[in-house]
Amino acid sequence: MVEQAVAESAGLTEAEVRDRVERGQTNAYDAASSRCAWSIVRANVFTLFNAIIAACFLVLLVLGHWKDALFGISALANTIIGSVQEFRAKAALDKLALMHAPAARVRRAGEVREIPVAEVVLDDVLLLRAGDQVPADGVVTASSRLQLDESMLTGESDAVDKAPGDRVLSGSIVVGGEGVVTIAAVGADSFANRLASEAKRFSLVASELRSSIDRVLRWIAWIVGPIALLVLNAQMIALGGWAHAVADGRWQQAAVNTIAAVVAMIPLGLVLMTSIAFAVGAVKLARQQVLVQELPAVEGLARVDTICLDKTGTLTEGEIVFDGAHPLADDPTAAPPADWEAVLAWNGADPDANATARCLAAAYARPVAAPPSGRIPFSSARKWSAVAFPAGGEAEGTWVLGGPEMVFPAGGGGDAGGRLRARAVQLASTGRRTLVLAHSPAVLAPDDVAAERLPAALEPVTLLTFREKVRDDAAQTLRYFAEQDVAVRVISGDNPQTVAAIAREVGLDAPDGFDARELPADDAELASVLEAHTVFGRVTPTQKKRIVLALKASGRTVAMTGDGVNDALAIKEADIGIAMETGSPATKAVARLVLLDGRFSHLPSVVAEGRQVIANIERVSMLFLTKTAYATALAVLFGATLMQFPFLPRQLSVIDGLTIGLPAFFLALMPNARRYRPGFLRRSLSFAVPAGLVIAAALWLYAWAATSAGIPEQELRTGSTLILTIVGLWVLTVLSRPIDGWKILIIGAMMVGLVLVYSVPIIYDFLQFADPSFVTAVLVLVVSAATIGAIEIIRFAHRRFVRRTAPLAPSTAQ
C-alpha cells in the first residue's frame, strides 16, 4: 500500500519547491535552545544599580580623582560574574541536541531524497519509517501499520495508530510501520513550534533576594537626587560658600564629598555578594550535572512549597518493562498448553514487535522450532496480534496476544472469559497494563489473515502484566520533599489510574487519579480540586499551564518538572521550571534548571544550595543594609546641619571592604541548612535601620564635637574612620554569632588587615590619615563604646522581634 502510494505520487517539482521557498513556506524555524545573548546582557548590565554607580564613577574620572573611584570595581565585578556564568550556561545548553532527526525523507520530481528538516516545504510528500521523527505537521495519505509516539507532545504514553486521513504532529516519533504524509503546516505554524513560541517569551525568574535588593535600590533612587543636592549645598557652604568654592576650585572637593555620601548609600557589596553566592552555587551544582540557566534559580527552589511532576520522564524512565505472568491453569476450562512460554519468546524476538511485546525477550528466550505459518501483526486500533504455527510442532495452533477486553469482549468467552475479564480489571487497578495470551487449536486461514479476524475456539492461557519503569531515585526524592513540607502534584497526560498507581509505588498518598477532562472551568472550584487531589491524568498542555497558574494564585511557590513539549507551557509559568536533558528543545529553553543526566535525585542538592544562599545572604545583608542606613542618615544629618562630610570615598571603600565586603564574601559561602522563611527584607531592615541610625548619630556627634574642639579636617576624618572601623567590626561580630570555627579566623584576619591599614605608610598616606591627638583618641573611644552598647541592645530587641513575627510553616496538604 505504501509502495503503491509512493509510486503514484511524483511529489513536488523543482519549480513548485522554489515557489514555496520564495513565499517563506519552509520548515526553517529559529529553535534557539537557551536565553539569547541580549537578554543576558540586559539583565546583568542595564540595571539601576549600574546606572547610579557609573554616573558617580564618571564624575570622579572627569575630576581626576580616580583614587576615589575604587567602588567601580564592585559594579564591574558584579556585571562580569553574572554575565559570564549565564553565558557559560547558554553555551552548555546550546550543545544539547536540539532535534533528534537531522534529515527528512521526501519524494520530489519522482525520486526519493534526504534533505535537512529546515528545507521541507508545504505540500512536500514525506516518507516515514520506524525511528523517524516527524519534522512538520501533515496528513497521512498511506499507512502500513504506521504507529507514532506522541508522548512528548501530549503526555499520552501509548503509541497511536495512524490511518489515511489522520493528522500527524511535528516532534512525534515513528515507533512502528511506515507511511506517506503530505505536509500541511511548516515552521512556526507547526504544532510543536507553536507551543515552543508561546513558551519562549522572555521573563526573569522570581527571586526574593533580587526583588528585595531592587526594592532598596528603587527607594535609594527616589531619594538620592534630593539628598545629593542637600549634601552638595552643605559641602559648598562648609568650604566657604558657593561663590568662593567655585572661584578657588574647592567645588571639586565638595563634589567628591557628595559622591562619597551618595555611593555610601548604595549597598554595592550586597549586590556583588548575592551574584557571587549565586555563581558559586551554580558552579557547585554544575559539578552534579545540574545546569543553572539563570543565577537566581539557585535560590528559587529553596522557596518552593509545591512541586508539580510529569509522570513520564520524571517519575518513570518512559520505558515499558515486563511485570509478570499470571497463568490461568487453576481454571479447568483454560488449562494452558505446556509451550506457551515459547510463544511469548517468539513474540519478544519478532523484529516487527511493538515496544510492549519486545519486553518479553528478556524474560523468555526459548526458541520456537517451526516458523509460523501465518500471522496478523499488532495494531493499536484492534489491540491484538496473532501468530499460527503448523500442526505437529511444539506450539501448534493459533496464539493471540492482546488486550483482554478486545480478545474476549463483554459477553464473549463464556465463564472463562468472564473470570478472565474480572482478573484483568483487578490487575489493571494496580496501574499495570494487562495483555492476555490465548490459544486456538485451529490454524489461521488465509481469509482470517486478510480480514484480520480472530480464530474460533479461543481459550485464555495466561494474563501478562507490564508497567512503566520507575526511576530508582524517585521514591527517595519524594520522601525528602515530604520531610521538607513540600506538597507534590502529579500532572500527566496518561490514564489517571495508571498515574495514581505509579504515584503510590513511589510513596505518594494517591488513592485515585482525577481525570482532567472533568476539571471545573471556574478558578475557585479548580483551586478546591487541586487541594483535594494529588494525581491528575489526561491533562492537556494548556491544562498543565492552568493548574500551575491556579496553584500560584493560591499563594504557593510552584516548581514544575518535565521533559516533553506538552510540559513547556507549565514549566514556563512555574516559579521554577526544571527540565530533563532528554527533553524537547522548547522545554529546555524555558526551564531555569536542566538536569543534564536526567537524575531526579539532584533536586534535594538544589534545595540545599538554595537554602544556603538565602540564609547566608540574609546574614550578610544586615551588614550592607546597616551601612546603607547609616550612610543615608549621615548624608541627611550633615546636609541639614551644613557640616563637611567626614569621609573621602577611598576611606569608605577600604574600611567597608575590611569590615563588610571581605568577611561577607566568606560568610556568604559557609554551610547553612536553615529552612527558608519569607520576609527576608523585613527581618534585615528591622536590625539595619535602628543600628544605622545609632551609628550615624554617633558619627555626627563626634564630628560636631571635633569641629567645636578645633580638630583639623584630616584628623577629623581619621577619627571618623577609626570609629567606623571599631563599630563595623563589632557589627560583624554580632551578626556572625555564634563565633566558632572559620568565623574566628575570618574576624581575626579582618582585625589584622585593619591594623595594617593604619600602620603601613603607603596605605596610611593613600587614605590621607593623620595621627590622632589625645582629644581625638578620647572622643573616638567614648563614642565607639557608647555605640557598641546601643548596638547590643538593638540586636537583643531584633532577635525577639524575629521570633515573635516568624511565619507559620508552609502547608503540607497532600
List the chain domain ranges: 2-30+121-185, 226-284+608-804, 292-316+472-606, 319-469
Cα 343 from chain centroid?
A: 47
Rounded CA separation 59/35 (Å) = 35
Question: pTM for this structure?
Answer: 0.66
**CB neighbour list of residue 31: distance below 8 Å, 6 or more residues apart:** 98, 99, 193, 196, 585
Pairing state between β 160-161 and 137-149? antiparallel
In our burial notation (b when 16+ CB lie closer than 10 A, e otherwise), range 547-564 reads bbbbbbebebbbbbbbbb
Residues, the chain = 814
Distance, CA of 514 to CA of 532 (rounded, Å) = 10
Across 308-312, 574-578, 739-743, the highest mean pLDDT is recorded for 574-578
* pLDDT bracket for residue 703 (50, 70, 90): very high
Average pLDDT, the chain: 81
Out of 119-128, 241-250, 273-282, the most confident range is: 119-128
Q: What percent of the chain has pLDDT over 90?
A: 14
User: Domain 319-469, CATH 3.40.50.720 — does that match?
Assistant: no
* Distance of alpha carbon 796 from alpha carbon 784, whole angstroms: 19
Judge: domain 226-284+608-804, CATH 3.40.920.10: no
Residue-wise pLDDT for 713-761, tens only, equals 889 989 999 999 999 999 989 988 888 778 888 888 888 988 888 888 8
Tens of pLDDT, residues 753-762 = 888 888 888 8
Judge residue 694's burial from the number of C-beta atoms within 10 Å of its C-beta, 0-12 exposed, 13-18 middle, 19 or more buried: buried
In single-letter form, the type of residue at position 86 comes to E
Residue 104 in 3-state DSSP? Answer: strand
Question: What is the phi/psi pair of residue 288, to 5°?
Answer: -100, 20
- The H or E element containing residue 176 is strand 173-185
pLDDT at 100: 41
Q: Given 124, 310, 339, 350, which residue is catalytic?
A: 310
Q: Is 310 a catalytic residue?
A: yes
Which fold does the domain 292-316+472-606 belong to in CATH?
A: Rossmann fold (3.40.50)
Q: What is the pLDDT of residues 86-134, one digit of tens each?
A: 776 666 555 543 334 468 889 898 888 888 888 899 999 999 887 788 8
Q: What is the CATH number of domain 2-30+121-185?
A: 2.70.150.10
How far is residue 485's CA from residue 22's CA, in Å, rounded to a whole number? Answer: 57
